[in-house]
Amino acid sequence: MRFRSRIPAWAWLVAMVLALISVAVNALAQEPQAAQQYRSLLVRSAHAAWGLDAPVAALAAQVHQESGWRPQAVSQVGAQGLSQFMPQTTRWIAGIDPALAAAQPFNPAC
């Protein structure tokens, strides 16, 4: 015996797509577990450098994309740390800002 639904097939498809979109949006809205331990540090550093209107979400997105919130990450081409700066860039920034003179690319606080 075959079950015949009174709901058209396209309606089921729309309902499934909407359900999947809802799940995806909820998953994206949640902060990654790895990001939670560095959140206050990132916000504090961004506000200190750029003021209260700092692009914290953009910086967090970069860190998430570049290193997956792993401070010891090293790319195939040699980029290091949370933000994945190349060693030459790390040395250059350290030369500009005396507070960064230690040039510690694997230290999340630097």
Q: What is the pLDDT along the chain (110 residues), one digit of tens a residue?
A: 555 556 666 666 666 766 666 655 555 556 677 788 888 888 888 888 788 888 888 888 888 889 988 999 999 999 999 889 899 988 888 888 777 777 788 888 76
Question: What φ, ψ does residue 102 adopt, rounded to 5°?
Answer: -70, -20
Q: Are 105 and 75 within 8 A, CB to CB?
A: no
Q: CB atoms < 10 A from the CB of 49, how many?
A: 10
CA–CA distance, 95 with 82 (Å, rounded to integer): 20
Find the angle CA(40)-CA(42)-CA(60) to the nearest 5 degrees.
115
User: What pLDDT score was predicted for residue 79?
Assistant: 94
User: What pLDDT score was predicted for residue 9?
Assistant: 64
Question: What φ, ψ does residue 51 adopt, rounded to 5°?
Answer: 90, -175
User: What pLDDT score was predicted for residue 8?
Assistant: 63
